[in-house]
A and B are shown apart, each in its own frame.
Chain A
């Protein structure tokens, strides 16, 4: 975790542009949703405040979700490619734990920024609070579980590199899926019925849409039980799957080149 912090903070070129980008994107998103709602009061069960809050929080989620390891040559695929991944298996910490620690560091770093941004938005009055304390608590709980699911999904994609070194498209696929299908791109409630129904079968919806919907009050707190059940099911399923994948991966540490 320390490595992430030092790497990120030591290069202003990393976070200064990111800060600017986030601010601009937040501003534009806010303007957009206000403008769209100029003619309507409620749409798809969301009023203007709810939709705006949802959209803004979605922007924050996307922006701070991941630290960029790719340009540093540190992403799993690149490590695989260069062969440095072999070191993971010789360190005293098991590769699984190492990955977990890395990910936690990344998420914690991103989370800290997100929290700061959230605070700023709150102070500026552009983001509304939850309708009740219970709703807020429900949102936090589902968010935590959602992060766990995100971690597993990212892990699966990264583990794929043990089987195929060309997984650019898979990476893009998951990015697309996780940004669109989770609601970060736009609130899922606006999409046609068939889209939402199809999305319900995938884990992405529960990573972001669930917490945000609870937060803005689109989903009543009473729905918490059902949502939690879905999330836990996904967590367990993905945990088993990735555990199995790690075992297979360790057996396949093939390094490229001579």
Chain B
């Protein structure tokens, strides 16, 4: 029994090592295109900075956002940026699936001894993730100084869980989108739209929205669970969100559950894959 478990663990570790090695090779390959590399870094930074700029602008020009302090709003933005940065770091290649399918490369993935989903994630090294994550950390540091929260180990753990949960939620959405790519050519714009929706509307405390908007942003596009609800929980305002408090507390779990469902659906769809050309 113990030997079997040890074997599982060893196998698991080995797979991680392989993934890391491939990532390193990808990274090296990307770095060789120096111009592209620097531009990508700069772009990641520039984009996130502008989002930041706009967020601060909003806070100064439109006071009293649904009763939230500026520090609280900054916390929402920070959590969202952190989870998005984590998402880009790991899951960005999902957006390449239409291209991978069109190139016929997916066939090759299907005959390699590695789960296809993982191979997709290892397709390329996401350079812009570096810029994204860096600015996310900056903003988070800034937000922490502005928001007056009593940080206990529990709240810190919850924060980490929220960021990871947000990452999984975004991954769930984009995984679901990529299912379409197996049978149709889907434009990149669809991925980007979801990305933009979360980026644009995920920054605000939802209490400013009318009921209809809140419903859309919670149950149709589950943006609320990414940053707003966890931030509300941290700020002790879980009761004012318009969503059952229990659900708000469970936001990180919502992301994880949706991700598991999406990935399962993805593999089911893969089985019905009809490859290109012939």
Contact = CB atoms under 8 A, between A and B. Distances in A.
A240 B1 CA distance: 75
Given A13-B186, A24-B221, A173-B43, A43 B193 contact: no
Contacts of B61: 40, 43-44, 190
A43 B58 CA distance: 10
Contacts of B16: none
Contacts, number: 114
Contact of B58 (A11, A18, A73, A190): A190
A36 B39 CA distance: 34
Interface string B180-202: 10001111111001000100110
Contacts of A70: 99, 187-188
Contacts of B175: none
Q: How large is the interface on B (under 10, 10 to 19, 20 to 34, 35 or more residues)?
A: 35 or more
Contact of A36 (B50, B62, B212): B62
Contact of A68 (B40, B102, B188, B197): B188
Given A68-B188, A71-B188, A28 B62 contact: no
Given A31-B212, A39-B64, A190-B54, A73 B102 contact: yes
A192 B43 contact: no
Nearest to A195: B53
Q: Is the interface of B mostly helix, strand, loop or mixed?
A: helix
A256 to B, nearest CB: 14
B102 A186 contact: no
Contact of B127 (A68, A169, A190): A169
A32 interface: yes
B54 A191 contact: yes
B189 A72 contact: no
Given A13-B184, A31-B209, A191-B57, A173 B39 contact: yes
B187 A71 contact: yes
10 tightest CB-CB pairs across the interface, nearest first? A68-B187, A169-B39, A31-B213, A35-B208, A169-B40, A13-B184, A71-B185, A36-B62, A166-B33, A71-B98
11 contacts: A11-B184, A14-B187, A21-B193, A28-B200, A35-B208, A35-B209, A35-B213, A38-B208, A71-B98, A170-B36, A191-B54
Interface of A: 11, 13-14, 17-18, 21, 24-25, 27-28, 31-32, 34-40, 43-44, 68, 70-73, 164, 166-170, 172-173, 176, 180, 185-186, 190-192, 195
